[in-house]
Structure 1
Amino acid sequence: MAAAGEAIAYPFEAYDGMRVTAQRSGLGEGEPLVRVRLPFGGDGWLARRYTDVRQVLTDPRFSRQAAFGRDVPRAHPLIRDEPGTMDLDPPEHTRLRRLVSMAFSTARVERIRPQVQRIIDEFLDGILAAGAPADLMETVCWPFSVAVICDVLGIPPHRRSRLRGLIDVSVGRDAFPPDEIRQARLDLRDGVAALVTERQERLDDDIISALIRARFDDDRLTAQELVELSLGILMAGLETPANQLGNFVYTLLTHPDELAKLRDRPELIGSAVEELTRHVPIGASANHPRIALEDMEFGGVLIRAGDAVFVDFIAANRDPRVFADPDLFDITREVNPHVGYGHGVHRCLGARLAQMELQVAVSTVVRRLPGLRLAVEPDDVPWKMGRVFRGPSLLTVTWDSAGHC
């Protein structure tokens, strides 16, 4: 069993586009958890091996809820005093997840697939009419993501631009002053609370209405739980898909053989999105620490009660013990048990929606923009910095003017 060594500064280095370098260094056989020093204070452990990451996410001896209200260690400038509804531990989390899972059932997600298709087609109609080149982030990725999640939740169009701006600030790590991030989160919560109040007076076929209707004996949602759940779905369903759509298109454009494969065999879109989810390093660093509830030997080191353990999804998805040739981007990869949506009880609730949304968007962009290519050199694409998620700040593309459908 390894002893605690000197803590290493984490994140190991500023990220550089889609490159993965030091974040997965040292993934040799038998590597223990590594001690890391967090950017906003304190030390913790970092799990990078696939098996260690999955175990941290499922072992009840690690608590996500216990991480709230702690000054250190922190990967974010703000101390979150109270956990969100999806940050709770079982059994409270189990009740809430059961209620929300109904809103993200496979049947419900498939029912809105035609609606998602219409949305992406409308934005592509717009850029095709305007002509090349175009910034795909501002003309397609962001407005598409906003429209989908707001339609799904039942948020009216006139409220959407303000919510997007508040979310952009609220997920900042050091791109904005802490007080500005804190205020954006308060304003965002107030805005969602107002939306929930409005929806309670006029139920419709949307997720907020479904949550209001959801009842399991005495397991009723409180007003605060309803707001927190709606807020969490909005933030996750807007920020992540928008960035991922840009990341996915960039990755395909910088791997022309895989892009050609997808053009020739559009039926590969399911496995392509799963491989993109595995391969693309969406997180700028590890977040959401788990707190050890007791002393234990874990991952080759001695973990003490109260220690914080972070998980590195990027490294886990590149673990050579699980993924053959892990750095290779291969849309035909057959064995792909990635943890791109997390794992265990806190696995992303909207994973089914995200998979469908990205399948529809990526396949439509590839089909309707023939000869799609970057209008600048790959290294000249600018990336957002100081955020929780990585993604292009500008993705200028061009395409062949004739032959689109």
Structure 2
Amino acid sequence: MTAPDLAHSARPSARPSTDPAAEPSAGSSADPAAALIADPYAGYARLRAAGPVHRITGPDGLPVWLVTRYADVRRALADPRLALDKQHAAPGNYRGFALPPALDANLLNMDPPDHTRIRRLVSQAFTPRRIAALRGPVEQVADALLDAMAPHGRADLITAYAAPLPITVICDLLGVPTEDRHDFRAWTDALVTPDPARPQDARAAVAAMLAFFTALIDRKRAEPGDDLLSDLIAVRDEGDRLGEDELTSLAFLILFAGYENTVHLIGNAVLALLRHPDQLAALRADESLVPAAVEEFARYDGPAPLAIRRFPREDVVIGGVTVPAGETVLCVLASANRDPEQFPEPDRLDVHRRETGHLALGHGIHYCLGAPLARLETSVALTALLRRFPELALDVPESELRHRPSLRARGMLELPVRF
């Protein structure tokens, strides 16, 4: 789904509205897509005010239902009638990017009981105790990256810090050898923000990822190590509780989801602090605020504006609107997290905020499995950065900052800073 889809949303109805007055504008009429990507929250606010649920027509001509208000989004995320498995899409209603089975058989496309079985197998790697044990290694990675940055006095914080930190941590967790750590960002960028003029790039990225994970699993199978991937292979080969495609897809998802959202959470948090000097000063004065501040950063400008699409197993009423079975439902997390009915002064960044319950990491049985690791990495990254560079500042005018051209991933292409 692209930016113009949200920019041209319609009122809740059985058919998309054709009345221009019924279409909440998301920004400049000259370039609504760019305006919505640069500042989606004004557009989301108009959608929330216009109604809780909006039926729009996607670029492929198929209907999509947007859920915008906090209470409705929270209920929808936990509603078992809304399935993730694409088999529940009505015939001809969904044309998502086709991954091969070896990458597609993952938790983002599964419902119970398969979802329950696989999540239980991998959740042991993300228990609070295991995540707490990673604090030291994460701090070592952060310090090493800052050591490399320090002599230069300036850097692109995304390339030099926000991206390599979670990539290093998740590769260590999975047991990916250092020499095999390819340009994962290039592969995932080709999928998350594909270039319509170069569809071959996405296909090439899929082929490269499939070849990479197949070879990595073969190597780990022959020479297992003390890592998560070796453990999962043992589960597959000894207990037969994972199919081979499920094993490969799970490795792909852990690596992809294990760093993609954290990169943007760290980058968005730093940008928010640089734009709000009073909040930056508060964190510098009291580092104990950082864990709660990470929750506020996730609420205020989270890395995933939209939850994974869902398909009603039956006609479902959401926010007083009947959504037909098999059509595509998108819960707008970024809109829910700025809903004034749930969060007082929702457009204000407040590292002292005590209102909890943001939905940036999901809700219900599909709540982000790696949330504890993302919180740890972001807390460590911010604490180390603020300690090391007391004069941290943007190195370009704000007008030159560029967000990724996507509504599915909210993050910066670059974040030039000086220190």
TM over 0.5: yes
Residue 328 of structure 1 pairs with residue 348 of structure 2: yes
Q: In 1, are the aligned partners of 2:236 and 2:247 still within 8 Å (CA)?
A: no
Q: Which residue of 1 aligns with 2:275?
A: 254
Shift of 1:27: 2.3
Pick the aligned partner of 1:61 from 65, 70, 81.
81
SS in 1 for 2:268: helix
Mapped partners of 1:184, 1:315: distance in 2: 31
Q: Which residue of 1 aligns with 2:60?
A: 40
Mapped partners of 2:88, 2:380: distance in 1: 37
Mapped partners of 1:173, 1:338: distance in 2: 29
Shift of 1:269: 0.7
Residue 4 of structure 1 pairs with residue 1 of structure 2: no
* CA deviation map 1:5-63 (0-9, x unaligned): 525699973334455210232424x9331111223331121101112112221111111
Alignment of structure 1 residues 164-313 onto 2, 5 Å: 164-174=185-195, 177-214=198-235, 220-283=241-304, 286=306, 288-313=308-333
Q: In 1, are the aligned partners of 2:303 and 2:410 still within 8 Å (CA)?
A: yes
Shift of 1:122: 0.3
Q: In 1, are the aligned partners of 2:236 and 2:243 still within 8 Å (CA)?
A: no
Q: In 2, are the aligned partners of 1:20 and 1:281 still within 8 Å (CA)?
A: no
Q: Which residue of 1 aligns with 2:144?
A: 122
Shift of 1:3: 3.9
Mapped partners of 1:296, 1:9: distance in 2: 25
Q: In structure 2, do the counterparts of structure 1 residues 73 and 13 end up closer, same or farther at CA, with 3 Å as the change threshold?
A: farther
Residue 137 of structure 1 pairs with residue 147 of structure 2: no
Amino acid at match of 2:318: F
SS in 2 for 1:34: strand
Structure 2: segments with no counterpart, 5+ residues: 1-11, 18-22, 27-31
Q: In 1, are the aligned partners of 2:392 and 2:417 still within 8 Å (CA)?
A: yes
Residue 354 of structure 1 pairs with residue 374 of structure 2: yes
Mapped partners of 1:207, 1:296: distance in 2: 39
* CA deviation map 1:294-342 (0-9, x unaligned): 1233211122222221110000111111111111110111112001111
Q: In structure 2, do the counterparts of structure 1 residues 55 and 19 end up closer, same or farther at CA, with 3 Å as the change threshold?
A: closer
Mapped partners of 1:10, 1:151: distance in 2: 45
Q: Which residue of 2 aligns with 1:337?
A: 357
Mapped partners of 1:347, 1:238: distance in 2: 16
Q: In structure 2, do the counterparts of structure 1 residues 378 and 118 end up closer, same or farther at CA, with 3 Å as the change threshold?
A: same
Mapped partners of 2:212, 2:237: distance in 1: 27
Mapped partners of 1:18, 1:230: distance in 2: 34
Q: Which residue of 2 aligns with 1:402?
A: none
More helix by share: 2
Q: In 1, are the aligned partners of 2:192 and 2:406 still within 8 Å (CA)?
A: no
* CA deviation map 1:258-306 (0-9, x unaligned): 00000000001100100000101423x6353211111233211122222
Mapped partners of 1:25, 1:32: distance in 2: 11
Using structure 2 for the length normalisation, give the TM-score: 0.86
Q: Which residue of 2 aligns with 1:403?
A: none
Give the share of equivalent positions with the same residue, in percent.
35
* CA deviation map 1:64-93 (0-9, x unaligned): 10368865445x6x2457543202111111
Amino acid at match of 2:212: G
Number of residue pairs matched by the alignment: 394
SS in 2 for 1:59: coil
Amino acid at match of 2:160: T
Residue 394 of structure 1 pairs with residue 404 of structure 2: no
Mapped partners of 2:100, 2:60: distance in 1: 16
Mapped partners of 2:387, 2:297: distance in 1: 18
* CA deviation map 1:170-222 (0-9, x unaligned): 22244662332123112202211211221122332322123234489966112
Q: Which residue of 1 aligns with 2:7?
A: none
Amino acid at match of 1:301: V
Please report the RMSD computed on the Cα atoms of aligned residues, expressed in angstroms: 2.6
Shift of 1:240: 1.8
SS in 1 for 2:153: coil
Q: In 1, are the aligned partners of 2:315 and 2:324 still within 8 Å (CA)?
A: yes
Amino acid at match of 2:265: Q
Mapped partners of 1:341, 1:118: distance in 2: 26
Amino acid at match of 1:326: P
Farther off after superposition, 106-115 or 179-188: 179-188
Q: In structure 2, do the counterparts of structure 1 residues 68 and 122 end up closer, same or farther at CA, with 3 Å as the change threshold?
A: farther
Amino acid at match of 1:146: I
Shift of 1:125: 0.5
Mapped partners of 1:45, 1:166: distance in 2: 29
